[in-house]
Structure 1
Amino acid sequence: MKQKFYDMIESNPVIAAVKDMDGLEKCCQLEDIKVIFILFGDICNISEIVRKIKEKEKMAVVHVDLINGLSPKEIAVDFIKNNTAADGIITTKPGLIKRAKELGLFTVLRFFLIDSMALENIRNQQYGLRPDVTEVLPGLMPDVIKEVCRISKTPVIAGGLITEKKSVLAALAAGAVSVSSTNQKVWMM
């Protein structure tokens, strides 16, 4: 699954992060978008959302923390694995990453970088957990992204507040392998 992700972002490092059906429909029509982060839905419609993405032969990664009706427990990952065709999950919870890895799902551990303690959490959690990639938000801090890339044992995605091409290029230049954005203009850069 990890190699599939790298193959898909090789030609376009922009990941479409969708927060509603309109965004989902638009990014599914964009040939250059290969990876989609799903940031909305509920237990009644998540399998249909994932199905639409998979029909377009794109990689579907579900942010399990944002799916209404799922608990913050490991069983939520089992639900995604057993009831959808999702390729992986995004979460801020280390226990969910561990369970997803056990089930063979692609894993994205998301961190909100608000202070030096958050940066230290990245350093500490890398050793035992080993998600497939680490996502840091906001993605507008090239110096901090460079430091995260230096200390991280996994590839880094920059996300959050990225709205301009110069921000995409700065994040990539700082060492991020990709950027995720809900901004539809970024999807077409």
Structure 2
Amino acid sequence: MNRTIIDQLEDTPIVAAIKDDNGLEKCLTSSSQVVFVLYGDICNIGGIVKRLKDHGKTVMVHLDLVEGLEAKSVSVKFLKENTLLDGIISTKIAVIKAAKKQGLATVMRFFALDSMSLEGIKKLVEPDLIDFIEILPGVAPKIIGKLVAEIDIPLIAGGLIADKEDVIGVLQSGAIAISTTNQKVWEM
């Protein structure tokens, strides 16, 4: 478990999730300490991560969304050796395993679409591999509370969080943080 990231999320529970260069620019001056990079390609990901690190951010890259990289262990190794990232986000357990072997923090992203997907989440969770789980959409406090009670891994809620009421509801349900591309929420 990465205690430093947990401390950062407890201090500032809003994760700036960036999906383009505009988000990157705005994120640099946000109070978010942890940033989820949800875009980029094999040519520019190193520069994106460096800009964030130069501004003191903890950087988690969603490998599945980096153009030109496949969800394979060699891509994790490439990112580890060619960027300053702190961790990997993925929906693929093989990528999470590879990231853990490289000493990176791990965020396993799940989509909670129905009761079957919730049961699948419980079966896939491996506390020795996964530092955090991210549940999308994040606007279901009742479901988040249930997962927090059943899974012993810090939970981050993401997706569709639009206002202070959403943030408060999710955090009160037991999520350690929320991730959002909504720049207005970054400064709440």
TM over 0.5: yes
Are the aligned partners of 1:122 and 1:152 in contact in 2 as well (CA < 8 Å)?
A: no
Q: Shift of the alpha carbon at 1:129?
A: 5.7
Q: Shift of the alpha carbon at 1:125?
A: 1.2
Q: Shift of the alpha carbon at 1:127?
A: 3.7
Tell me the residue number matched to 1:135: 134
**Deviation string for 1:146-173 (max 9, x for gaps)?**
1111121211000000010100010001
Q: Shift of the alpha carbon at 1:10?
A: 2.2
SS of corresponding position for 2:9:
helix
Tell me the residue number matched to 1:53: 52
- Alpha-carbon separation, structure 1, partners of 2:59 and 2:87: 7
Tell me the residue number matched to 1:80: 79
Which runs of structure 1 show a deviation greater than 6 angstroms over 4 or more consecutive aligned residues?
Answer: none
Q: Which runs of 5+ in 1 are unaligned?
A: none
TM-score by length of 1: 0.96
1:101 to 2:100 alignment: yes
SS of corresponding position for 1:16:
strand
Query: Once structures 1 and 2 are overlaid, which stretch shifts more, 66-75 or 120-129?
Result: 120-129
Tell me the residue number matched to 1:144: 143
SS of corresponding position for 2:134:
strand
Give the RMSD, CA atoms, in angstroms. Answer: 1.2
What is the number of residues matched between the two proteins?
188
- Alpha-carbon separation, structure 2, partners of 1:110 and 1:80: 18
- Alpha-carbon separation, structure 2, partners of 1:136 and 1:14: 14
